[in-house]
Structure 1
Amino acid sequence: MAAEQNAGSLDSAFYQPADAFFPAQAGLALTYDDLTLSTLYSETLPRDTSLDTELAGGLCLHLPIISADMDTVTESRMATGMALNGGLGLIHYNMPEKQQLKEVSRVKNHVHGLIQEPITVAPDKTVGDVIELIETKRYSFSTFPVVGDDRKLVGLLSGNVLKPRYAAKQVTSALVPRDQVQTLRESQLGADPIAIADQFFTDHPGINKLLVVNDSDELCGLFTLSDIERITTEKLSQFRPARDDHFRLLCGAAVSTPRNDAGELDRERIESHVGALIERGADVVAVSTAHGHSKGVGNAVALIRAAYPDLPLIAGNVTTAAGVEYLADQGANIIKIGQGPGSICTTRLVAGVGIPQMTALYVASQAAKAKGVSLLADGGITKSGDIVKALTLVDGVICGGLLAGCPETPGQVMEISGKLYKQYRGMG
């Protein structure tokens, strides 16, 4: 017993918890490579661990890793890959607003649970019209519910009849009529609609589409067998995709804060852009600059928060407790910590501004506890060990350079001296 006590006191003399270690280093700022973690006794096995993290109300990740909102890192392909592995992608805004909306839609429409607004066709169209629609919109599916002007279900148009030989036929003469279409009442879905749909497909071999209608026989949604099978298979996967309440993949987007001719924030444009992102299904919006503890960023955050009270909102970047408190008071749920730690970030070189990341994370974490907000470590993550160190102080990490060489990034591939490289630049 005495030996154990001596060992314990020896450990405590050299290995300190964060609340003792960082204040003792006051005046000396530390980054990831300046420290390592000591181990403690544990009975937890790796397979028993959970990294589930709720960053804000309704925004839960199974893996607290986010791809950076940089134009050579995150568009729809990367955001989809991140969400499929339990994380999140922030789609950058260095593109036209309409294009960004399309990128968000691609992620949200990757795999559905209940498709609440399925693409439909009108009964007075021809099969040729539908074929042209598929080619124009580049749809990857070919079965359509047929509804009238009153939204009542008329039937189901199968992909089997969408052939040039039937182009002149009216949809009404080619569809499966309403009385032969399998449907489910909206009131039958219950608390677990995926389980209900899964059982339906099991009980009805050969059926691949299940339409949902209300008591007035108006179309409310659509389940597909392929989506349900993928979702149910995910429950057995090591990495569970991050999904919203409608079983769509999570997706975030960064927004700019444009100003009008008078130099004031363009309220109408900002609210319109954020509103359009929400309509497309965006789960979180990010407002960030190199200097987040500023009136401009604060006003933008407050504007968005006033317009959309329940929207998870990321803001940054800051490295001080005062910066965290300021952005939290303006309405941010999640705050990005990091000024200049990134491998290609020039903030410290050009402006001479920035705090080494581990010290910045500790200082920010103290303010975040008091304000009840989440923190993201943004920049400087070059190794998996850096992620572990960061997660001792914050709720998640943002990675840019670590992901920049992946096939999912939009960066251009270049060959230099016989080796392949991907373009990567520090533009958020």
Structure 2
Amino acid sequence: MSIIRPEHGLTFDDVLLVPQHSTVHPRDVSTATRFTRGISLQIPFVSAAMDTVTESEMAIAMARAGGIGVLHKNMSIERQASEVDRVKRSESGMILNPITLGPDRPVREAAGLMARFKISGVPIVDGQGRLIGIITNRDLQFEQNLDQPVSQAMTHENLVTAPVGTDLDDAERILAKHRIEKLPVVDRDGVLRGLITVKDIFKRKQYPNANKDEHGRLRVAAAVGAGPDVRDRAKALVDANVDVIVVDSAHGHSEGVLRTVDMLRDAHPAVQLVAGNVATEDV
């Protein structure tokens, strides 16, 4: 027989915080805090490294809001690194290593990359990395032969480019003037050095408090354990440009976790490192 508790239960609607005199205007309040010594947050929120909570979609949403997401580790090393890469490529001030294809690759491959990374175009470069064209959704809209080389379907005449050093304000003016969505950045030799997109410029205005790195990319953390694959997993995450490695353990105050932290610090001295949970004080 179930027992009904005699006490009253309260919901959010039953509780009111009584306001009092304040000398602070809401617009002057800062909720900024630190996640690590080197990474600040605009809002004090972090999404958990749980497989029911944080993958790339949640991590992107958290970073856009000013927080950070910790990608869970219950997946293969390759997939977790891919999730990091997806967050880092989701938006950027300038994409430093844009996805490219050679002119002999099939159109089908270009279409697959656009679908996978949710992008609308791919720069085409020669063997020396020089920009020779760009293939976009517009080029593929009525294309029937997906097995032909991209050189037959790409836009290659009157390409609009910008020199290295172009800032986002100048890039926005160039994009608007030519009514284009992607602006390749090339050096004096025509080698592709980056890509600025109208989508990233709009997102900069839409999410002014986004948590971004020095290159304008969203920040993301990823979890590792203290198991045998930790060295390989951490290297793959660092290679994918993860911002923070989180040694995730139910009991962080243990020799296994401490050894893992020491190993990661020696192997990747530049990466930000977090470890936990720790619920005991070492006196």
Where on the TM-score scale, by shorter chain, does this alignment land: which range? Answer: 0.7 to 0.9
1:44-101 per-residue CA deviation (whole Å, 9 max, x = no partner) reads 2222111222333441210111111122222222222221211111111122222222
Cα offset, 1:183, TM superposition: 1.1
Q: Name the SS of the counterpart of 2:277 in structure 1.
A: strand
Cα offset, 1:113, TM superposition: 2.1
Cα offset, 1:139, TM superposition: 4.2
CA distance in 2, matches of 1:232, 1:103: 25
Cα offset, 1:226, TM superposition: 1.6
Cα offset, 1:227, TM superposition: 1.5
Is residue 85 of structure 2 the alignment partner of residue 125 of structure 1? Answer: no
Cα offset, 1:158, TM superposition: 3.3
CA distance in 2, matches of 1:289, 1:130: 40
Mapping of residues 243-322 of structure 1, within 5 Å: 243-259=212-228, 269-322=229-282
Query: 2:56 is aligned with what amino acid?
Result: S
CA distance in 2, matches of 1:94, 1:177: 44
Q: Is the 8 A contact 1:234 1:241 kept in 2?
A: yes
2:205 to 232, 235, 250: 232
For residues 125 and 297 of structure 1, do their structure 2 counterparts lie closer, same or farther at Cα, with a shift above 3 Å needed?
closer
Is residue 36 of structure 2 the alignment partner of residue 56 of structure 1? Answer: yes
For residues 166 and 294 of structure 1, do their structure 2 counterparts lie closer, same or farther at Cα, with a shift above 3 Å needed?
closer
For residues 168 and 41 of structure 1, do their structure 2 counterparts lie closer, same or farther at Cα, with a shift above 3 Å needed?
closer
Query: 2:246 is aligned with what amino acid?
Result: A
Q: Name the SS of the counterpart of 1:290 in structure 2.
A: coil
2:170 to 196, 211, 219: 196
CA distance in 1, matches of 2:180, 2:118: 19
Percent identical: 35
Mapping of residues 405-416 of structure 1, within 5 Å: none
Query: 1:244 is aligned with what amino acid?
Result: D
Query: 1:253 is aligned with what amino acid?
Result: A
**Aligned match of 1:148:** 126
Cα offset, 1:229, TM superposition: 1.3
Q: Name the SS of the counterpart of 1:56 in structure 2.
A: coil
For residues 67 and 167 of structure 1, do their structure 2 counterparts lie closer, same or farther at Cα, with a shift above 3 Å needed?
closer
Mapping of residues 10-409 of structure 1, within 5 Å: 42-131=22-111, 133-134=112-113, 138-162=116-140, 163-167=142-146, 169-177=148-156, 180-186=158-164, 188-189=165-166, 193-202=167-176, 204-235=177-208, 240-259=209-228, 269-322=229-282
Cα offset, 1:168, TM superposition: 5.9
CA distance in 1, matches of 2:62, 2:108: 38
Q: Is the 8 A contact 1:128 1:164 kept in 2?
A: no
Q: Name the SS of the counterpart of 2:83 in structure 1.
A: helix
CA distance in 2, matches of 1:138, 1:290: 34
CA distance in 2, matches of 1:108, 1:214: 23
CA distance in 2, matches of 1:84, 1:113: 13
Based on CA coordinates, which of the two structures has the bigger radius of gyration? 1
Q: Name the SS of the counterpart of 1:113 in structure 2.
A: coil
What TM-score do the two structures reach when normalised by structure 1? Answer: 0.57
Cα offset, 1:41, TM superposition: 7.5
Q: Is the 8 A contact 1:113 1:223 kept in 2?
A: yes
CA distance in 2, matches of 1:168, 1:292: 53
CA distance in 2, matches of 1:216, 1:205: 23
Structure 2, unaligned runs of 5 or more: 1-18
Cα offset, 1:165, TM superposition: 3.1
For residues 317 and 217 of structure 1, do their structure 2 counterparts lie closer, same or farther at Cα, with a shift above 3 Å needed?
same
Q: Name the SS of the counterpart of 1:109 in structure 2.
A: helix
CA distance in 1, matches of 2:95, 2:48: 28
1:233-272 per-residue CA deviation (whole Å, 9 max, x = no partner) reads 333xxxx22111222221111101114xxxxxxxxx4232
Q: Name the SS of the counterpart of 1:130 in structure 2.
A: helix
Q: CA RMSD in A?
A: 2.6
Q: Counting helix residues as a fraction of each chain, which structure ranks higher?
A: 1
Q: Name the SS of the counterpart of 1:286 in structure 2.
A: strand
Q: Is the 8 A contact 1:252 1:282 kept in 2?
A: yes
Structure 1, unaligned runs of 5 or more: 1-38, 260-268, 324-428
